[in-house]
Chains A and B, each alone.
Chain A
């Protein structure tokens, strides 16, 4: 059945494009969790803000779409600095896992409704010039926008990966993630590193927002549709595990594409979260198991 084959290839391509965007969002969550042991529910709003920043840059200032991805990156970074200064830095002193989580829920409600007051509830139509240019191979087609997403995401993910593996600062970050106290004894300045983590995470979320903007229904609540799935990805990949998150993000993108094709778009969340619960029940350390001692 050549038709089934082309459908499979087509949906695999769609899934990878979507998966790339999920990875960009989920990597930030996993970084924040790895380094700070915190769950950030406001991450969704970095995505939304990135999308709006890119929208206004292209529509109002007449900027190019590719450049707007950089603008969204910067917007996310700035928001990250602010949220770190207001929430994470003061609450970190108290060493509690529940309150920072609730505080980020509060920040999320604040940002979403601030955006609602500023931008209104009516969805914005975010056009990108590259969505109209189609590239065809027989029965399989994709747009230049898809190509752009994959290239930008791969470059960003590759750069982050290289940064974490090979640079001194990246190694210091991983040291803090492994053992905060010992890293502190080795003379690593945690506060700066934690700040850097949040800035990278939110900048990536902003960048993802610029590329998700044309796909999602762009409202002040756009990020929320992506974020719950991103939590699933972070768990499936293993909290704080970069390789696992990349793999899980692509996997969820593919699952979503196949589910849309064969079962209908209504059950995507059902399939993804059922997978999540199965993972939690049988393999809570994630796809790529990492040896980690737990202090009892």
Chain B
């Protein structure tokens, strides 16, 4: 099958899975909730992967952009009575603009320095959310947040008070973003980003403007996280700063690494696995996070390329007759 055909088949399969999941969940509010969180985490993980996996910038502050998107959207809707969709765009834009500020730090800082700078960035954002009580209501949080308003498509009105519809909305956005990012990564822009990841100096020697493309990657990655943030408060109904503490950044990083950094499908697998696994382990109570930590450590120790690379290695061994297996992009 051609590359193009396989891609369309993949999209069709993803659409089918997204369409069927709420049917399988049979109206269980609990599983609908988990599915929505999964879709949000997929968005966050693929946006972080753009910055860490493809551009090679060690960013430990992704939770900040998620939070900025959530708070900007909610405050605009609740306090200034903006239209939700406009506020959503503003939230994503605000996160993207703040991402550019972090990118400026990435001009000079590399590796661990950037990691700590981005961590500091997330701590400061969290502290502002806690301390700027007049706007964010501080640690007590904002309550009674409505889901996105219904969309009227001719005679049909889609209401997002239904968890299944909200899931379709977020997962649909996730799929569109995934396909768009996939196209971007396989375009010359993706090659440029990978060149910066592999060797910034050589890339510059070939005429690549490293600063410009870092700004691009940070802005886009942050804006997508901000977009995810716009949908979070309407789903939960409340908004507290603790949802965007730095632990959230670590969790997102874990999703990217466990799934397979620098691959498109890896972070999706990681996000779904690390969202669903703790829920399945709920039966063992407090021990579930213990298992989570153990799983993360073991994956890094024994599957350095994440699940995707491990699966490819197994596939190559099972089907040795197959000509040159696809290389990681």
Contact = CB atoms under 8 A, between A and B. Distances in A.
B120 interface: yes
A129 to B, nearest CB: 33
B127 A267 contact: yes
Interface in A204-246: 228, 231-232, 234-235, 239
A31 B250 CA distance: 23
A33 interface: yes
A280 B105 contact: yes
A195 interface: no
Interface residues of B, number: 41
B201 A296 contact: yes
Contacts of B124: 269-270, 273-274, 277
Given A98-B58, A274-B124, A277-B124, A113 B112 contact: no
Given A99-B257, A103-B300, A269-B123, A110 B112 contact: no
Interface stretch (A6-14, A89-97, A180-188): A89-97
B257 A102 contact: yes
Interface string A274-296: 10110011001000000000001
B290 A266 contact: no
Interface string B209-241: 000000000000000000000000000000000
Given A97-B112, A105-B254, A296-B201, A270 B131 contact: yes
Interface string A103-128: 10111111111101100000000000
B13 to A, nearest CB: 30
B38 to A, nearest CB: 20
A273 B120 contact: yes
Contact of A267 (B109, B119, B131, B286): B131
B300 A280 contact: no
Interface residues of A, number: 47
A122 to B, nearest CB: 13
A281 B108 CA distance: 8
Contacts of A140: none
Nearest to B289: A113
A47 B314 CA distance: 41
A247 to B, nearest CB: 18
Given A113-B286, A117-B287, A280 B293 contact: no
B315 interface: no
Contact of A273 (B127, B253, B298, B300): B127
A116 B58 CA distance: 30
A51 interface: no
B286 A106 contact: no
Contacts of A103: 296-297, 300-301
Given A102-B300, A270-B128, A281-B105, A108 B116 contact: no
B325 interface: no
A109 B112 contact: no
A239 to B, nearest CB: 7
A280 B130 contact: no
B304 A266 contact: no
Contacts, number: 124
Nearest to B60: A101
A67 interface: no
Contacts of B301: 87, 90-91, 103
B113 A284 contact: yes
B143 interface: no
A165 B295 CA distance: 41
B119 A106 contact: no
B246 interface: yes
Interface string B283-318: 000110110111111101100100000000000000
A106 B201 contact: no
Contact of B119 (A87, A116, A228): A228
Contacts of B298: 106
A192 to B, nearest CB: 22
A110 B297 contact: yes
B297 A107 contact: yes
Interface in A255-273: 266-267, 269-270, 273
A232 to B, nearest CB: 7
Contacts of A296: 201
Nearest to A276: B120
A23 interface: no
B117 A117 contact: no
B127 A94 contact: no
A191 to B, nearest CB: 18
A96 B130 CA distance: 36
Interface string B101-140: 0000100110111011101110110011011000000000
10 contacts: A106-B298, A113-B292, A114-B290, A228-B119, A234-B116, A267-B127, A270-B131, A273-B123, A273-B127, A276-B120
What 7 A-B pairs come out closest when comparing CB atoms?
A109-B293, A110-B293, A106-B296, A106-B297, A113-B289, A113-B290, A103-B300
